[in-house]
Structure 1
């Protein structure tokens, strides 16, 4: 796979000097994320059918480097810049500068900001509400939960706000512990935090609210290792294949809210093609649908 990441030391300037009109730059700090990677792989496949060359930059959680790489590709004169799983407001000057050069900036699973032509995502507040309502109902609307979150991502922050609203409407549910998940490495980071919570609270933990599936998986691994008799229910978001397999296995992980990541990527390619042709987007923000995946929807019966 051709990536700008492999050219960071010196080759980035070679790219800047040799960019062609069909080059699309895709940048993210989270390529290791299953969901982010799924969007980018679908985007590459759909772009290839249009004859576009897609160059992927992964800054591995480094937003300072992300800002620098956006400047690089904008100076290279790419046809479009695609930011995946990023809050463009965190690199607002670079995004605005790219837009001022006439380069459309499209965001997948992110947020709107000055200079962004379109943000294509899921209604993340709705995702958080679906997750919260499902988990609370499964818990019988009472008990203690552990919360795993990552407010740096705009979509994940919306899910957290939805949880806050749901907690206000369900006084029987209490957050007894919470952890800001580090990225990259969310599974291991959540597992380590959950090990501490299990030692501290034990059977007081009735549920785990994970803002996406990797922390849910990490929490499950900790429970399976340190307290395999735990009845705590775990739920997450994204429809990660590993999470779905664990739901099928009748583990403590009982549900995930599946986003249509391929749909987000395909919509992005369609919208970019229109923008390149000089058409203005009908909407600045496009929402793609989501649905709950649990044992019932998978046809799994657990004793």
Structure 2
């Protein structure tokens, strides 16, 4: 607990230097009159794995930048993927009586008790990016982020298109128990399951890690060889690892079709080069800003929708020039 409190203290000290937005600077999405000046709004967030994953690192920096622009006080914490540490951070933010708490769950089920304790203590909780388990949704005020089941379906439909409805596919999934991983896997299976010509040979997690994904793909190649026609990667970071294994095995670029989600810069470049069939665009900048906007509205006593999805269009070589290269 001592280490967690130290992190909180540092976060508060940093926010003391944030610029303060005047009433004239109030953004158009925030209705007037304000319940209290934005400079007095305190938002706490316990995020996930910043500095480890490019998406999450960009999300955190975007969150801090936008909080500073708005002039609010932001307390930013990172449990580093540990549900127990995140539970302690939720307790810490509750004790500090933040106006609103934002939680990016490290585990959909494990965080339910801590989130419900925050709610019962009178702290509104906004869930960001990855869903909390259904049992905990009664304790939250809203969800902001991508529709991850839809993303899995989109990746599945792209795979069907890439294989013309016939072929063998392997799956490289995210961290077991993590809602985004579960939802994308289910969405992908739902989409390809409608086509009897497509068979899923195998599925293994790689915990959103490129090196692990490369190792998983190497094992798949050793086991199934030329039987593999397609790879689903739950995000482009793992898709890049799969592509590295394919190239190392001497398999021609594009022979094995890869579809994924959360388009990283490396995935964007691979699509453009014809080595990667398609992905789903998901901006960490929009993700962070949307969550912060929702939390500020709640702090100001304004109504918010129970669910606010960010835009997640598909991207292939056919439309890639209409999309900017990701910043992460």
- Within a 5 Å distance, the mapping from 1:82-97 to structure 2 comes to 82-84=102-104, 86-87=106-107, 89-97=109-117
Say if 1:16 and 1:73, in contact at 8 Å, map to a contact too. Answer: no
Change in 2 beyond 3 A, CA 1:158/1:68: same
- Within a 5 Å distance, the mapping from 1:139-218 to structure 2 comes to 139-150=163-174, 151-183=176-208, 186-218=209-241
| Structure 2 gaps, min length 5 | 17-39, 323-328
Q: Give the equivalent residue in structure 1 for 2:310.
A: 288
Change in 2 beyond 3 A, CA 1:79/1:205: same
SS in structure 1 opposite 2:164? coil
Deviation at 1:85, TM superposition (A): 5.5
User: Superposition RMSD on alpha carbons, in Å?
Assistant: 2.6
Report which stretch shifted further, 88-97 or 63-72: 88-97
Say if 2:130 and 2:145, in contact at 8 Å, map to a contact too. Answer: yes
Deviation at 1:30, TM superposition (A): 2.8
Work out which of the residue numbers 26, 36, 41 in structure 1 matches 2:45.
26
Say if 2:81 and 2:106, in contact at 8 Å, map to a contact too. Answer: no
Q: Give the equivalent residue in structure 1 for 2:6.
A: 11
- Residue 244 of structure 2 is aligned to residue 244 of structure 1: no
Deviation at 1:14, TM superposition (A): 4.7
Q: Give the equivalent residue in structure 1 for 2:293.
A: 270
TM-score by length of 1: 0.86
Q: Give the equivalent residue in structure 2 for 1:118.
A: 142
Q: Give the equivalent residue in structure 2 for 1:60.
A: 80
| Structure 1 gaps, min length 5 | none
SS in structure 1 opposite 2:313? strand
Say if 2:102 and 2:295, in contact at 8 Å, map to a contact too. Answer: no
Deviation at 1:12, TM superposition (A): 4.5
TM-score by length of 2: 0.80
Paired positions, count: 291
Deviation at 1:187, TM superposition (A): 0.5
CA–CA distance in 2 between the matches of 1:271 and 1:153? 23
Deviation at 1:40, TM superposition (A): 2.4
Work out which of the residue numbers 127, 130, 138 in structure 1 matches 2:151.
127
